[in-house]
Amino acid sequence: MTFSAVLVAAQWFFIFYFISLSAGYLALNLVSILAIREYAARRWSDALRRSFGGLDLPVTILAPAYNEEATIATSVRSLLQLEYLQYEVVVINDGSRDATLETMIREFDLVPFPDPVRRSLPCEAIRGVYRSRRQPNLRLVDKVNGGKADALNAGINVARYPLFCAMDSDSILQRDSLWRVVEPFLEDRRTIASGGTVRVANGCTVEGGFLTRVGLPGNLLALFQIVEYLRAFLFGRLGWSPLNAVLVISGAFGLFRRDAVIAVGGYSTDTVGEDMELVVRLHRLYRAAKRPYRIVFVPEPICWTEAPESLPVLKNQRVRWQRGLSESLVLNRSLLFHPRGGAAGWLAMPFMILFEWISPVIELAGFVLMVIGALLGVISMSAMWVFLLVAFGFGVLLSVSALLLEELSFHTYPRFRHVAALALAAVFENLGYRQLTAWYRLIGLARWATGGKAQWGKMTRTADWQKKP
């Protein structure tokens, strides 16, 4: 076969791949629209029922912290002001090298407390447990550094309640977020995990642990990520929820049944994508054992977190995410097309493999080969324009439709100029930003494939969205 014939064949393959990718996401969009309409129809009755029901299930909030002195106090204050009847906050200081521990001791009057620890899951040595003299539901675990997964396992060992909420210590929950993410556990006793929406805090204002103003960042990278997060959560996860096929619950905000997580071995310390790996493992083991279960995504509970504002930090994040995705899929590959795999094994896993895992290779190769073919005259300009229309046009359509759905359903961004800026970002993030993140994901895939050392990299926090008390 000649080089020209290869390019022509590749042309049709890439066009077909992008059409299939877009069709898959559009199908998820349709399911998401139906799901969010149903959710919106009952949200007010749920709020009324909750106001008079007093049915809150006890929850332990786990907040692993490593070098988080810039944001830890504000995040913990927000957790202590949640609208929830019975919960505790456990901060796990994972061997921080900065003043995270000292900040917590100073801000919340922590003192050592002889708290017995049940070792249900293996973890690095715990150096001490502290309790606040001002906040009876606040404790801190100080331990030897072992990574986020190890810190969460330590927190699960210390937790007193049957449900635990895993979140990032640099994040901010809205005051009603916890009871909204608990609702699936009240509605169906088979629920073992639920997750909420994560949004970008850059450009917002937080005072004393409260989100007081929703705004947009001046940084272009952070602005693009707002649209990206809307698309990922409102479509990418909400679309799988009615099928019981959610494979990812964000490590920034997820609620789990403690006994279910202990039964499957807790968080894996052998992967940098411990949040996704745990969820996929829950699917795999529960389906293999024929145990009834539900893993749910709820669109309204919101967790606000800081997005990267520099290319090096963004690169580290996306390389880590792609590596975590690779590890999660490979470690749980037996779920794929398992006779009892259900929608998770027969739909979500193939979709994730084709359109998330190997997509950086195909997307970037498609752009390169199509340009080469057009320059050599092997691929017609009409075919080139069809490819660009599919690649860029459908990307814009998906981003704009996610923004439209958000505005119609929740209207988080109150001003017209916010919506206008996000609409422009929804268009222009497809012209360079998406290709850049695909390149970073390709690096992550390559590092995983070649056995490169897994590492988190440094996440620089600006914390300029927080006002000092």
Q: What is the pTM of this model?
A: 0.90
Residue 122 carries which side chain, given as an amino acid letter? P
Angle at 335 between CA 318 and CA 196, to 5 degrees: 50
Q: What percent of the chain lies above the pLDDT cut of 70?
A: 92
| Helix (H) / strand (E) containing 414 | none
Domains of the chain by start residue, with CATH: 20-55+171-354+458-467 (3.90.550)
Residue 118 carries which side chain, given as an amino acid letter? R
Helix (H, G, I), strand (E, B) or coil at 97: coil
Strand partners, 112: 130
Q: Is-contact 362 17, C-beta < 8 A?
A: yes
Residue 380 carries which side chain, given as an amino acid letter? S
pLDDT digit string (tens) for 6-32? 777 877 888 888 888 888 888 888 888
| Residue 23: other Cβ atoms inside 10 A | 11
Tell me the average pLDDT across 65-73: 88
pLDDT digit string (tens) for 370-422? 888 877 777 777 777 888 888 888 889 889 988 888 887 788 888 889 999 99
pLDDT digit string (tens) for 450-465? 986 655 555 555 555 5
Tell me the average pLDDT across 151-170: 93
pLDDT of residue 469: 47
pLDDT at residue 359 above 70?
yes
pLDDT at residue 54 above 60?
no
Question: CB under 8 Å to 263, separation ≥6 — which residues?
Answer: none
